[in-house]
Amino acid sequence: MALEDAKTQVDMAFTRDNPRGLSFENTFGGATSFLRRRYSKDLTGVDIAVTGIPFDQAVTNRPGTRLGPRAIREASAIQAFDPPYGWGYDPMSEFSIVDYGDVAFDYARVADFPEALTNHIRSILAGGAASIALGGDHYITYPILKAYAEKFGPLSLLQFDAHTDTWADDEPNRIDHGTMFYKAVKDGLIDPKRSVQVGIRTENPDTLGFNIIDAREVHETGPVAVAQKIRDILGDHPTYLTFDIDGLDPAFAAGTGTPVWGGLTSGQASIILRDIAGINLVGGDVVEVSPPFDTTGATAIAGAHIALELICLWGWTRR
């Protein structure tokens, strides 16, 4: 059946008539959408809306993550043929998933961006879907959390990252990808006591009460033990998962703005993500993929795999 479908399927981003099911379109051709899902602004009956946030004007080092969503979509084409390995079910067939396109904003009016993004995510949540966002720099998580907290109340945050991103910043209008979780805690969007930061390997004297599993602990105790620790902390509290690609070691994700050695391997990350199945995930994002700094495409491939794992996690408790 797959071979027969491969002869006729093309541009499934536009021609797909069913939001469920695998795709067998040639990976090297056709219109690019995430996992070959249909592009749609109609959220009727949709479970998950994947959306791109091509914003990188909050970076402290190397830019380029505005190109991340496009690269992740392209990398995801090779994942559309088969159910994701190791999960025992196929979320692409069990759930209605669309590519909701990108957030619209005026790049020359940076101060207007946060509200534009919050409204964009509000529209997805109001339509009854969950969002999986493709960044973009890590600042984007803050406006997204505002929309989610409006619906769910203070959230647990599960953050994979080399940096805590909780450096103090009491200027509400500053847009910075290293201070937004300080703001999120101060704004009551997330509960740090019920939140976990994984893979941290940079100094920050004020952790604001977050539970931190640094990179060394992951290496020493192993991903299975780490996953259990995460589950114990999160419980069944509504959780938003943000995965900064620099949580991975630069050997596995060189294409990012602030790479730090000593990070997680792709294998460790995949085991942790699969072993936390059952958490109450309400939404998520993968951020800081900067294609210009990785000509191999490996970083975008990692981003695409992570985004699919987030979809699997969301669907695990809703099958």
Q: For position 4, what pLDDT does the model report?
A: 66
Q: What percent of the chain lies above the pLDDT cut of 70?
A: 99
Q: Are strands 196-200 and 48-53 parallel, antiparallel or unpaired?
A: unpaired
Q: For position 280, what pLDDT does the model report?
A: 98
Element (H, E) at 221: helix 215-221
pLDDT band of residue 279 (cuts 50, 70, 90) is: very high
Q: What are phi and psi of 242, to 5 degrees?
A: -120, 130
What CATH number is associated with residue 271? 3.40.800.10
How many structural domains are present in the chain? Answer: 1
| 181 vs 167: CA distance, rounded Å | 8
Mean pLDDT, all residues of the chain: 96
Q: For position 1, what pLDDT does the model report?
A: 53
| 102 vs 188: CA distance, rounded Å | 27
Sheet containing 239-244: order of strands: 97-102, 48-53, 130-135, 281-287, 239-244, 156-160, 196-200, 211-214
Q: For position 34, what pLDDT does the model report?
A: 98
pLDDT digits (tens, 9 = 90+) for 3-31: 667 788 999 999 999 999 999 999 999 99
pLDDT digits (tens, 9 = 90+) for 141-153: 999 999 999 999 9
Q: For position 206, what pLDDT does the model report?
A: 87
Question: Could you tell me which of 64, 20, 71 has the C-alpha nearest to residue 177?
Answer: 64
For 71, the 3-state DSSP assignment is: helix
Compute the average pLDDT of residues 148-161. 98
Tally the C-alpha atoms within 13 A of residue 96's C-alpha that lie toward its C-beta: 11
Quick check: 192 and 209 in contact, CB under 8 A? yes
Backbone torsion region of residue 89, taken as left when φ is above 0, otherwise alpha when ψ lies between -120 and 50, otherwise beta: beta
Q: Residue 283: give the domain boundaries.
A: 2-316
- CB contact set of 4 (below 8 Å; sequence gap of 6+): none
Using only the alpha carbons of the chain, give its radius of gyration. Answer: 18
Place of tokens 């990179």: 215
- CB contact set of 41 (below 8 Å; sequence gap of 6+): 100, 101
Compute the average pLDDT of residues 134-163. 98
| 86 vs 189: CA distance, rounded Å | 33
